[in-house]
């Protein structure tokens, strides 16, 4: 038995889709979720910067006593997972890329799989590497959708404007006659209704959240670290951006578990800020 929390992070609210799946599958587990909204979205950022952010966040979560960290951000997982595993030896780290590929391969009938993600995710090539590692025969067609994250962070997940954007992003993939589409950003499931309308009923949408949750559960079970306690689990939410806005969007997308959010300030962003403001979790 291990009562320590599971740590989950993303560049904003998108990773709450992964948190939702983990909480649903393992309701007895304590969870700390961190959304780095002040520095997100990570997709257009230089990959070296994303690696730095990832290491800083994992360091924070490690100090908070987590037993495992889920990098619920495709860009961060693509840019930094392997380096982070080497640096944080002894702390289990899990990304969302490998579970996404596994789910995509399980879903496809023709072997023609589409992938949409941020610029950073698409350019990093982590999905290509994960597919190659399976040694399965399939084709991966990719498209970057850089503006989707901003729409989700504003809560604009439906409507003519975002649908037109989706059609322009997805046309190169539908032209390739894909039968499966991996939503390679944890924000994108929040756009699933719009995306499905564009790609049609014949294309299966793959969200890596559920497959990630199952892999987390399998890992914790294999090492005897599942929480077994009669006391209800707790869920803690932290944002580097506006905690009120985060909690409002979080409640909409995750549910009543998001009753509020703490604020974190990173050392590099504290110049001129009052680090002792009420409710601030400071680092350094």
Q: Specify whether the CB–CB gap between 127 and 115 falls below 8 A.
A: yes
Which CATH number does the domain housing residue 51 bear?
3.40.50.1860
Give 158-205 as a DSSP string: SSHHHHHHHHHHHHHHHTTT-SEEEE-STTGGGGHHHHHHHH-TTSEE
SS3 243: helix
Residue finishing a domain among 156, 182, 208 = 208
Q: What is the pLDDT of residue 275?
A: 44
Cis peptide before 270 (omega within 30 of 0): no
pLDDT of residue 262: 95
DSSP 142-165: EEE-TTHHHHHHTT--SSHHHHHH
109 and 129 housed in the same domain? yes
Whether 22 maps to a domain, the answer reads yes
Res 230: pLDDT: 87
Same domain, 23 and 106: no
Query: In terms of domains, do 124 and 147 share one?
Result: yes
Q: End of a domain among 157, 180, 208?
A: 208
Tell me the residue range of the domain where 124 lies: 97-208
Q: Are residues 229 and 91 in the same domain?
A: yes
| Same structural domain, 83 and 103 | no
Is 114 among the domain residues? yes
> Cα separation of 109 and 180, whole Å?
8
Give the H or E element holding residue 251.
helix 243-253
pLDDT digits (tens, 9 = 90+) for 23-49: 999 999 999 999 999 998 898 899 999
Cα–Cα distance measured from residue 48 to residue 231, given in angstroms and rounded to the nearest whole number: 42
Residues 102, 166: one domain? yes
Are 107 and 133 contained in the same domain?
A: yes
* Residue 1 falls inside a structural domain: no
| pLDDT value for 276 | 47
Residues 105 and 125 in one domain: yes
pLDDT of residue 249: 86
Q: Are residues 142 and 48 in the same domain?
A: no
Q: Residue ranges of the chain with pLDDT lower than 70? A: 268-284
| Within-domain flag for 124 | yes
Model confidence pLDDT, tens digit, residues 176-201: 999 999 999 988 988 999 999 999 99
Q: For residue 283, what pLDDT is reported?
A: 56
Q: Which residues are catalytic?
A: 73, 185
CA dihedral (114, 115, 119, 121) positive or negative:
negative
* Same structural domain, 255 and 131: no
What pLDDT was estimated at residue 154?
A: 86
Domains of the chain: total: 2
The verdict on residue 113 lying in a domain is: yes
């Amino acid at each position: 038995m291990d009562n320590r929390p599971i740590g989950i992070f993303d560049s904003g609210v998108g990773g709450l889709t992964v948190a939702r799946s983990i909480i649903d599958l393992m309701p007895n587990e304590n969870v700390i979720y961190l959304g780095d909204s002040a520095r997100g979205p990570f997709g257009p950022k230089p990959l070296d910067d994303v690696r730095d952010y990832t290491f800083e966040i994992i360091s924070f979560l490690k100090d908070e006593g987590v037993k495992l960290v889920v990098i619920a951000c495709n860009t961060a997982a693509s840019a930094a997972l392997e380096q982070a595993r080497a640096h944080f030896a002894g702390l289990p780290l899990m990304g969302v890329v490998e579970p996404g590929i596994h789910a995509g391969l399980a879903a496809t009938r023709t072997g023609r799989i589409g992938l949409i993600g941020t610029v950073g995710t698409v350019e990093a090539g982590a999905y290509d590497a994960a597919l190659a590692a399976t040694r399965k025969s399939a084709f991966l067609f990719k498209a970057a959708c850089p503006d989707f994250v901003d729409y989700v962070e504003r809560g604009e997940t439906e409507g003519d404007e975002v649908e037109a954007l989706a059609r322009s992003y997805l046309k190169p993939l539908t032209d390739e006659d894909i039968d499966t589409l991996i939503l390679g950003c944890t924000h994108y499931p929040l756009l699933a209704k719009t995306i499905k309308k564009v790609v049609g009923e014949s294309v299966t949408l793959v969200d890596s959240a559920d497959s990630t949750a199952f892999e987390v559960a399998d890992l914790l079970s294999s090492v005897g670290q599942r929480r077994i306690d009669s006391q209800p689990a707790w869920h803690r939410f932290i944002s580097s951006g506006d905690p009120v806005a985060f909690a409002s969007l979080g409640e909409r997308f995750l549910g009543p578990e998001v009753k509020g959010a703490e604020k974190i300030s990173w050392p590099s962003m504290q110049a001129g800020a009052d680090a002792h403001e009420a409710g601030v979790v400071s680092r350094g």
